[in-house]
Amino acid sequence: MSGTSSRPVEKSGVFKLGGELPIHRLGYGAMQLTGPGIWGPPKDRAEAVRVLRRAVELGVDFIDTADSYGPYVSEELIAEALHPYAKGLVIATKAGLVRTGPNQWHPVGAPKYLRQEVEMSLRRLKLERIDLFQLHRIDPKVPVEESLGELKALQKEGKLRHIGLSEVSVEDIQRARKVVDVVSVQNRYNLTDRVHENVLAYCEKEQLGFIPWFPLATGGLAKPGGALDAAARKHQASPAQIALAWLLARSPVMLPIPGTSSVKHLEENLAGAELSLGKDELAAVDAQASGH
């Protein structure tokens, strides 16, 4: 893609978490820095460290992770690569999913467990306060009021700045907001998977950040002759860059966090912030994706 700058992420615009904490809208998701099945250490630790440092060089000031990525590996890598942190760098983490092996995830929302994980995340990340702490999943066995009540207590103690949710419905968010001030929602969302369209609409109305995970899934949309392929060829861009540009254009509260364990892919993804798609192009990609 031509015309790339040294800090392309700055072209993605700014969103204020909780109305007061500014971040660039294109961030980095640190899940893929771990081993296969989001389990264990990365195959190439030095490259993982390079990816994190390069992301910040390219303008990323919002990094999303979780205690369960590894588990713990992703948070440890972030501290190793980036501490002491650059001014304005926001690190978001999560707890509420326990790992028993590769690709295995089990919700646990017990207050004592969440408190323990917050304390451990603070230690691993070498932080005194976590800027955004997200409940990774609502535990069906624990009333969400209890889980979030503990996070609210930790917030009052000065250990958490803002609180967010992950994989929730509009009803879940409304229930949660009776307990804590929710600033963000992280749900699966991409061009071909828009089951959470109503959640996005709610977040837009309420000015909550919407963090789409798995943002680059394009399915068969990138095949030759399709709208994604046409837009990519016109802009000399990759289908992933087009998908990111579409997400950024989709809503002002959208905060995509594409993840990768490769510096080359990172640079390619983040250059997508500089792409500006015309209304007709956006509509064509949208129409093709809707019919997918």
Could you give the residue numbers annotated as active site? 69
Amino acid, res. 272 = G
Of the candidates 249, 248, 250, 78, the residue with the CA atom closest to the CA atom of residue 258: 248
Which ranges of 161-214 would DSSP assign to H, the alpha helix?
Answer: 170-176, 197-206
Q: Please give the order of strands across the beta sheet that includes 160-166.
A: 28-29, 62-64, 90-95, 130-135, 160-166, 182-188, 209-213
Peptide bond into 140 cis (omega under 30): no
Backbone φ and ψ for 163, nearest 5 degrees, come out as: -125, 135
Count of alpha carbons within 13 Å of 194, Cβ hemisphere only? 15
Q: Which residues pair with 106 in a beta bridge?
A: 98
Structure tokens, 51: 């990816």
CA distance 156 to 260: 35
The token pair that represents 105 in the structure block? 């995830």
| Amino acid letter, residue 54 | R
